Amino acid sequence: MSDRDADQRLVERAQRGEKHAFDLLVAKYQRKLTRLLSRLIRDPAEVEDVAQEAFIKAYRALPSFRGESAFYTWLYRIGINTAKNHLVALGRRAPTTTEFDPEEAEGFSDAEQLRDVDTPESVMMSKQIGATVEAALAALPEELRTAITLREIEGLSYEEIAETMNCPIGTVRSRIFRAREAIATRLRPLLDTRKDKRW
């Protein structure tokens, strides 16, 4: 049974009134949703509140969920919209900085420089790359930052991102391409790569 099928069965049980089934979905996705929301909201206490609010909204909207998209895609869309509404209500926009997880650097083709943390040079390089990626993400418009986060951090497919962000798949591809180019432009001097090579 696929992950999506397992989620769908839990959703169906929850729709029939089995509260424990929804609790299992919350347990499964709470950490991932919180991590996603922390990209949009800086204060950890606010992130927890928004995540809880998103799960409450999802629970209330559960009767209308028909399984046309994966449950977590639907949940992430609710989470992103809840976070945006939260920021608007507070008179704020998306954050200007984001947390950087060194594990994210594993995706770089030049990540060997980051894996060796035994030398002061590699530690410094890791910190510089982390700060550079963080600054590049912070400088991105919200739509680009959300798209690249969903793709590179959360591992969603282009189709799932299109559903989550409620836009055409071509727009998702464009946003991710533009985000990667913006990050690559900032990383080139550090990684000493040519302009025609991304990393």
Instruction: Give residue limits of the domains in the chain.
Output: 3-89, 102-191
Instruction: Say what the pLDDT of residue 114 is.
Output: 32
Instruction: Say what the pLDDT of residue 59 is.
Output: 92
**Is residue 192 exposed (0-12), middle (13-18) or buried (19+ Cβ within 10 Å)?**
exposed
Instruction: Give the separation between CA 184 and CA 134, rounded to whole angstroms.
Output: 12
| pLDDT surpasses 80 at 99 | no
Residues 28-44: tens digit of each pLDDT = 999 999 988 988 888 88
Residues 151-196: tens digit of each pLDDT = 887 888 889 899 989 999 999 999 999 998 888 888 887 776 555 5
| pLDDT surpasses 70 at 94 | no
Domains 3-89 and 102-191 agree in fold: no
Tell me yes or no: is domain 102-191 CATH 3.30.70.20: no
Share of the chain above pLDDT 70, in %: 78
Alpha helices for the chain (secondary structure H): 3-15, 19-37, 44-61, 71-89, 112-115, 120-139, 142-148, 158-165, 169-191
Residues 57-68: tens digit of each pLDDT = 999 999 988 888
- With beta carbons less than 8 A apart as the criterion, state whether 71 and 25 touch: yes
Please compute the mean of the pLDDT values over residues 102-112 and round it to a whole number: 36
Instruction: Give the separation between CA 84 and CA 86, rounded to whole angstroms.
Output: 5
Instruction: Give the separation between CA 43 and CA 50, rounded to whole angstroms.
Output: 11
Bin 94: left if φ > 0, else alpha if -120 < ψ < 50, else beta: beta
Helix, strand or coil, per DSSP, at residue 194: coil
User: What rounded mean pLDDT belongs to the chain?
Assistant: 79
**Predicted confidence band of residue 115 (pLDDT cuts 50, 70, 90):** very low
Token duo for residue 192: 């000493």
Identify the residue with better confidence: 102 or 151.
Answer: 151
- Contacts with 129 (C-beta within 8 Å, 6 or more apart), sequence order: 105, 108, 113, 114, 187, 190, 191
Instruction: Say what the pLDDT of residue 75 is.
Output: 92
Residue closest to 182 by CA, chosen among 134, 147, 136: 136
Instruction: Say what the pLDDT of residue 12 is.
Output: 92
Instruction: Give the separation between CA 169 and CA 158, rounded to whole angstroms.
Output: 6
**Predicted confidence band of residue 55 (pLDDT cuts 50, 70, 90):** very high
Of the candidate CATH numbers 3.40.190.10, 3.40.50.300, 1.10.1740.10, 3.20.20.70, the domain formed by 3-89 belongs to: 1.10.1740.10
